[in-house]
Structure 1
Amino acid sequence: MLESVKIQRRQSEIRQSLAELVAKPEPTEDETRSMDTLDKEYRANETRYRAALIAEDEERRDAKGELETRSDREWSELMGRFEMRQVALALDEGRKLDGPTAEIVEELRERGGYRGVPVPWEALEVRAGETIASGTPDPIQTRPIIDRLFPDSVASRMGAQMISIDHGEIEWPVVTQGASVGWQASETGAVGSPQAFQTTDKALAPDQTLGVQMKITRKTLKQSGSALEQAVRRDMNSAMAVEMDRVVFLGSGSSGEPLGVIAGAATYGITDTDLGAAPTWSAFRSAVVRFMLANAAGSPSAVRLMLRPEVWDAMDASYIDAGTAVTEWDRLAKNVSTIAMTTNGLATPTGTPAASKALLTTNAGGVAPIFVGKWGAVDLIRDPFTDAASGGLRITALATLDVTVARPKQLEVVSGIQ
């Protein structure tokens, strides 16, 4: 307890005692001496109280940073103790949740409705240290959500930001027209005509739901806790990571899928340049220059590039000069700091000759090029009947997601890479 609070409480006790003594019409000598003693203590405490406030104010300033981050850190540490095996056993046997797992599930239920058991996205993290002999979980320190979910996600490497939404829709007003500038041509002339401040809304809507189904056998359910923990996390993590990476870039916008940034480049207003030739550094350099001319990137190092392994193969086999060992890939890797290769986020090359696509993105002014919205937590629903004959359990995980682009100038598609 703070010293100032202790002093305040003592002062309140002194005032109460003095009030009782003063109310007596003829106090005894002992009561008179007691009043004198209490009065001296009260005045001394006033000085101590002011000193305590000054000292505690300095302590508060010193601890300000810790106090501001303590709640987030405590929540992350609580998430680190969430046990997927408790959820699996609750769905299979009806076992009661307890500890941090029960606390987290209860809080998630208060925020939204779930048919099954809500599982926080942070729980899908594949944790280190949970297969040691003692079986005591030792999770790694949590990180930002997009990295914590899928550390090797291509979407995260391309700068996509995951947005947590409790319910409803969320939108970002993006400025399309603003202030105008101009010089006064004459002493009495105007400095130019003003133009209206205009924005366009970029919305995320809970219209697309991703379903992940898994089968947990009776043997798995009877295994040790850490083994089940890792198996469930690993299975859900990989399945959701692969599909989310795909739809962020290649989502069709139909059949329940959100519209991906490459498949929906025309809809989002993203520039799509047809290279129609073999990949070279000069071709990608031209795309980087277009970024810089659009004020989206300040240097080549600010650009992120995503391409297929076939493009790397072609560029690494193309030498600048027969007398040197420098390839087109060497020049590209030297200038572009972040290059992500994927077979999931980009479609397989087609045509004759086979042609692929590439995507360039950049963060401008702290704004991510791609937003991925997720609503609430992952909803786990049990099906104990389908595999009842073998004693197994089927689980369906439902996650509501959407994708949008804030500013199309922060992205560019290069197609026709032969």
Structure 2
Amino acid sequence: MLDSVKIARRQSEIRQTLSGIVGKENPSEDETRQMDELDREYRSNETRYRAALIAEDEERREAGAELETRSESEWSDLVDQFELRQIAFALDEGKALDGATKEVVEELRSAGGYQGIPVPYGALETRAGETVSGTDLPNPKVIRPVVDRLFPNSVAARLGVQSIQIAQGEVGFPVATAGAVFGWQTDELSDVGAASAYTTSETSLSPDQTGGAQMVITRKALKQSGAGLEQAIRRDLNAVIGTEIDRVVVNGSGASGEPLGIVPGAATYGITSTAIGAVADWAAFRAEVVAFMEANAIASASAVNLAFTPAIWSDLDEALISGTAVSEWDRLTRHIANPAISNVIPAASAIMSANVQGIAPGYLGLYGGVDLIRDPYTKAGSGALVLTGLVTADFTVPRGLQTRILTGLAAA
């Protein structure tokens, strides 16, 4: 109990006692002496009470500052301790969840919308050795791009796509399309320019696309040690979900339940696509960098993210500048560090993007966690357990000028 509360209660007791004594017409000597003692104690307590309030106010401020960041850090700590093997045994044998795993599942369930057992995306991070992660793992704060954290080699992450964790509903991204106009007076009495309305356009993420990752856990795997099963589940779910998220961000058709990706949605998102029709070289990419600069999107080539296929990397590395040992790849990486190389990018194509004024070139919305549903019947004959992990996600590009596509980069 706080000292101020204890003192306040004692003051109340003193007042109550004094009121009883003061009401007597002829108090005894003992009662008179008691009034003097209680009066001195009351005055002393007033000083103590003010001092206690000052001390406790400082403690409250420190506690408040801690509470502002505690929820995010506590959540990440719980997710670090999340055990997927508990989920497998709960689905297979009905074993009760406990510890941090139980807390995380209950927290996700409070948002609703799960038929099976919810699993946070952070729990799919591949961990080395221990079932319960150590302090050397990333400790995400507030909203960290989930693509970066779950799938470090993700092409979407390398292109600057930001992932947002959404509990429910839609998330909109208003982007300014017109605003202030600067003008000069033509004479002393004229206006400085015509007024222009500040307008925005909006793109949004909605929970309309749901996909499923299915995996089979054999009876042998279920009977193995916890760490072995833990890593097996992580690897399977991590690989299949990460690969598919990358694919739909770049190549999602926008039909058959898929989000609309960067390449098929270029016209919809207002992304410029340029047909090169020649072997890839630094000059082709440099022209697009210049276009970014002329659109006031970037100030230097190092601000550009770039991704293309292994075949294009081979062409760039093989093409030597006449009379030198310097390749086109060397020229490119001198200006654009660490381009992403992946077969997710369409053949003979490249994607360039930039983060402009804090706005990512694309937003990937991941709704809730992975909804893990048990199917003990499909493989009942072999004693295996079939798990289906449902993932609800959407993708959008808020501003097309932050992305450019090159096509027709012919093979050497």
Tell me which residue corresponds to 2:330.
330
- 1:405 equivalent to 2:405? Answer no
How far apart, CA to CA, are the structure 2 residues paired with 1:53 and 1:276?
76
Distance 1:289 1:49, change over 3 A: farther
Displacement of 1:50 = 3.6
2:380 pairs with one of 388, 398, 402: 388
Letter in 2 for 1:13: R
Q: Deviations over 1:233-287 (max 9, x none)?
A: 1110011001110110011111111111012111211011111111111211111
Tell me which residue corresponds to 1:361.
353
How far apart, CA to CA, are the structure 2 residues paired with 1:70 and 1:320?
56
Tell me which residue corresponds to 1:15.
12
Q: Secondary structure at the match of 1:202?
A: strand
Tell me which residue corresponds to 1:353.
none
1:6 pairs with one of 3, 6, 15: 3
1:370 pairs with one of 358, 362, 365: 362
Distance 1:47 1:248, change over 3 A: same
Q: Which runs of 5+ in 2 are unaligned?
A: none
Tell me which residue corresponds to 2:204.
203
How far apart, CA to CA, are the structure 2 residues paired with 1:328 and 1:45?
82
Q: How do 1:184-223 residues align onto structure 2 when only pairs under 5 Å count?
A: 184-223=185-224
Contact 2:219 2:384 in 1 (8 A): yes
- 1:264 equivalent to 2:265? Answer yes
Distance 1:137 1:405, change over 3 A: closer
Contact 2:289 2:301 in 1 (8 A): yes
Contact 2:124 2:237 in 1 (8 A): yes
Distance 1:20 1:126, change over 3 A: same
Q: Deviations over 1:83-138 (max 9, x none)?
A: 1111111111111112221222122112022111111111111123316xxxx654
Contact 2:170 2:206 in 1 (8 A): yes
Q: How do 1:108-119 residues align onto structure 2 when only pairs under 5 Å count?
A: 108-119=108-119
Q: Secondary structure at the match of 1:90?
A: helix
Distance 1:65 1:296, change over 3 A: farther
How far apart, CA to CA, are the structure 2 residues paired with 1:303 and 1:314?
21
Q: Secondary structure at the match of 2:110?
A: helix
Distance 1:56 1:14, change over 3 A: closer
Distance 1:13 1:227, change over 3 A: same
Q: How many residues align?
A: 402
Tell me which residue corresponds to 1:273.
274
Query: Which is worse superposed, 68-77 or 363-372?
Result: 68-77
Tell me which residue corresponds to 1:78.
78
Displacement of 1:340 = 0.9
Q: Secondary structure at the match of 1:395?
A: strand
How far apart, CA to CA, are the structure 2 residues paired with 1:36 and 1:310?
97
Letter in 1 for 2:334: K
Tell me which residue corresponds to 2:340.
340
How far apart, CA to CA, are the structure 1 residues paired with 2:30 and 2:234?
74
How far apart, CA to CA, are the structure 2 residues paired with 1:181 and 1:76?
48
Displacement of 1:61 = 6.1
How far apart, CA to CA, are the structure 2 residues paired with 1:328 and 1:34?
98
Tell me which residue corresponds to 1:173.
174
Distance 1:48 1:8, change over 3 A: same
Tell me which residue corresponds to 2:238.
237
Distance 1:316 1:74, change over 3 A: same
Letter in 2 for 1:250: N
Contact 2:14 2:42 in 1 (8 A): no
Displacement of 1:185 = 0.9
- Percent sequence identity over matched residues? 53
TM-score (norm 2): 0.92
Q: Calculate the aligned-residue CA RMSD, in Å.
A: 2.0
How far apart, CA to CA, are the structure 2 residues paired with 1:67 and 1:292?
43
Query: Which is worse superposed, 182-191 or 227-236?
Result: 182-191
Q: Deviations over 1:300-348 (max 9, x none)?
A: 11111111111111111112232x221111111011124111112x12x
Contact 2:90 2:96 in 1 (8 A): yes
Letter in 2 for 1:370: G
How far apart, CA to CA, are the structure 1 residues paired with 2:120 and 2:60?
33
Contact 1:7 1:45 in 2 (8 A): no
Contact 2:4 2:53 in 1 (8 A): no
Q: Secondary structure at the match of 1:203?
A: strand
How far apart, CA to CA, are the structure 2 residues paired with 1:40 and 1:246?
79
Displacement of 1:297 = 1.0
Distance 1:417 1:198, change over 3 A: same
Q: Secondary structure at the match of 2:339?
A: strand
TM-score (norm 1): 0.90
Distance 1:62 1:108, change over 3 A: closer
Q: Secondary structure at the match of 2:177?
A: strand
Letter in 1 for 2:89: L
Distance 1:261 1:377, change over 3 A: same
Letter in 1 for 2:163: M
How far apart, CA to CA, are the structure 2 residues paired with 1:403 and 1:14?
63
How far apart, CA to CA, are the structure 1 residues paired with 2:361 and 2:109?
32
Contact 1:164 1:374 in 2 (8 A): yes
How far apart, CA to CA, are the structure 2 residues paired with 1:247 and 1:50?
63
Contact 2:301 2:335 in 1 (8 A): yes
Letter in 2 for 1:39: D
- 1:69 equivalent to 2:69? Answer yes
Displacement of 1:64 = 6.8
Displacement of 1:38 = 3.6
Letter in 1 for 2:312: V
Displacement of 1:49 = 3.9
